């Protein structure tokens, strides 16, 4: 999920982040239904360490991409203060 400091509120900014992703990684980062969330798709791995390394790399790319927008990347099933009426649905379809 994308959050905006200093209060770390949800940042409904996936439409701003996605076009900035490196082309070689963009197919592995997918929009979710909420405009503050993405899904990171690791490759298939034969070890847990391989999957963890892949996920770490994808999170690093998301961070590098989000930093210039003054956004931060967090992980959670949902934002702790998210209310359904305050969550924007993305304009584009899920990828």
Per-residue pLDDT tens for 2-45? 999 999 888 999 999 999 999 999 999 998 878 888 889 999 99
What is the pLDDT, as a whole number, of residue 25?
92
Q: What is the mean pLDDT of residues 87-92?
A: 66
Q: What band does 54 get if pLDDT is binned at 50, 70 and 90?
A: very high
Contact 25, 95 (CB under 8 A): no
C-alpha dihedral over 44, 23, 27, 4, to 10 degrees?
100
Q: Is the pLDDT of residue 80 over 90?
A: no
């Amino acid at each position: 999920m994308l959050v905006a400091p200093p209060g770390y509120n949800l940042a409904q900014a996936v439409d701003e982040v996605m076009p900035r992703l490196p082309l070689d990684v963009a197919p592995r980062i997918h929009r979710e239904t909420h405009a503050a969330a993405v899904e990171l798709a690791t490759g298939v791995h034969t070890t847990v360490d391989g999957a963890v390394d892949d996920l770490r790399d994808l999170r690093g790319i998301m961070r590098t991409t989000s930093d210039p927008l003054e956004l931060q990347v967090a992980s959670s099933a949902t934002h702790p203060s998210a209310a359904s009426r305050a969550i924007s649905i993305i304009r584009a379809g899920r990828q």
